[in-house]
Structure 1
Amino acid sequence: MTTIYLFGSAAPPVFEVDTVIRDLQSRGWDVCLGLTPAAADWLRDDLGTLEELTGHPVRSQYKRPGEPDTWPRADGILFAPVTANSLNSWALCLTSAFVVGVVAESIGKGIPTVAMPCVNSAYAAHPQVDRSVSELRRMGVTVLYGPGGFEPNQPGERRPYPWQAAIDTVTRLVS
């Protein structure tokens, strides 16, 4: 079975992660779910159900040195939603968050990785967001930002998150 790490930051689309897991599983993926600490807090009441759904522990913290890895090796990674904080931390290799550390290493390990930001237009106006997107793309990460991916909305505005584009892209990259 092909293993995907599905990572999410604390942005509203993270509340749809159970549907995304089921979609990935229907395509034959073994899904391991990782969350930023804030996203894990947002989903704290659902973590047990998500662990049952995936068959793996949901991770939001680094394991201690010497502890065995609880997940199989990843064949691909989908990081969505990615907040401005996680996106910029990743591009700058600031790896205090477990999921950011894993995706930072994925570049050097050659693991196909897809990211889809979820930032509003106020964050998108900050020049670091575009620099981070460009830098991650330069490093080989497929970033779905702009036409065909996520397009920033106004602060407080809710639009459907383009999950299907992210799922289709990571599936195509790993196939």
Structure 2
Amino acid sequence: MRYHTCVLSSILFAALAGAPVLAEDVMLSSLGQTMESCIENSSGDLEQCIGEGAKTCREGLPHKSNAAMTDCIIDEFTFWERQLAIGQASQIVRAEKFEVDRAVIGAPSVDLIDMTRDALNAWRRHRDTSCDVELAYWVGGSGGESVVAQCKLETTAEQAIRLNFGDGWGGKQ
């Protein structure tokens, strides 16, 4: 059974990141509740939550097939991918604000918006390529899909946390 991401966690992330939350996103799930609980109890150490939703999902599986366990990982990856989108949007907004502020004082544009978009896209390509390298070690094996899913979950979660709660780019937000 595939679980859906929990919007309460998205609301928490969005509120902390200053992003809007859509009412249509409000939906609860076991994985989402696990993530929400972990985030609320993390005392700011959000890295400890990476993998917790997938772990709880796997523990609840009646049959521990590779496909079912991979689905759990993919579901948590989807949760973090949404958080990454919020962080990326906040970086674009920061770049836009920076460019407007520069224009107000008559300073030349540094094309920060395009550079930010390029950096975000380059990060995604780096993540995907790095995880493909991990997959190459599993060619012919049955665990490759899980390895790629876990790689993407971890790297996406780390970047989402960095963009939403860390220094992001250009110092504290």
By the TM > 0.5 criterion, same fold? no
TM-score by length of structure 1 reads 0.29
TM-score by length of structure 2 reads 0.29
Indicate the structure (1 or 2) with the bigger Cα radius of gyration.
Answer: 2
With CA pairs under 8 Å and 6+ residues apart, which has the higher RCO, 1 or 2?
2
